[in-house]
Amino acid sequence: MNDDKIIRKNPLFEFYVENEHLVITNEDYVKDNCVVNLNSISHLELIRSLSFFDKIIEVIIGFWQDSKSDVLRINFKNGFKDIVLTNCDIKKTELIIYKINRLILEQENNTKPI
């Protein structure tokens, strides 16, 4: 099993690109599982969710704190889908999102006429 696509081990959560499709596997919440063609995706983004109390601490003290749940937003060309990332490795998630967005941009640049 390739560890660079796993962002949470127990229960398993992984997402990666395979054969120009985005594959998402979430054993915790089966409704999140999907296989999506990269051509239908505009871009991916990570939405960091801090509680109100965490935001006050961040503003007053300047102490940045990791949030408990973040949201992976898949922006399609005709809508979006939000997937909650609870207790996931956010650094690894950010890296995967960056790589996938780069693939989407490369694919769009190669298919658009000049």
Which pair of structure tokens corresponds to residue 39? Answer: 């051509």
Find the DSSP H helices in 2-113.
52-60, 90-111
Residue matched to tokens 């694919």? 107
**41: pLDDT strictly greater than 90:** yes
Give tens-digit pLDDT for 48-59. Answer: 876 666 666 666
Measure the CA–CA gap between 111 and 106, rounded to whole angstroms. Answer: 9
Give tens-digit pLDDT for 2-28. Answer: 677 888 888 889 989 999 899 999 888
Measure the CA–CA gap between 25 and 14, rounded to whole angstroms. Answer: 5
Percent of the chain with pLDDT over 70: 77
Contact 104, 41 (CB under 8 A): yes
Contacts of 87 (CB under 8 A, 6+ apart): 8, 68
From the centroid of its chain, how far is CA 31? Answer: 15
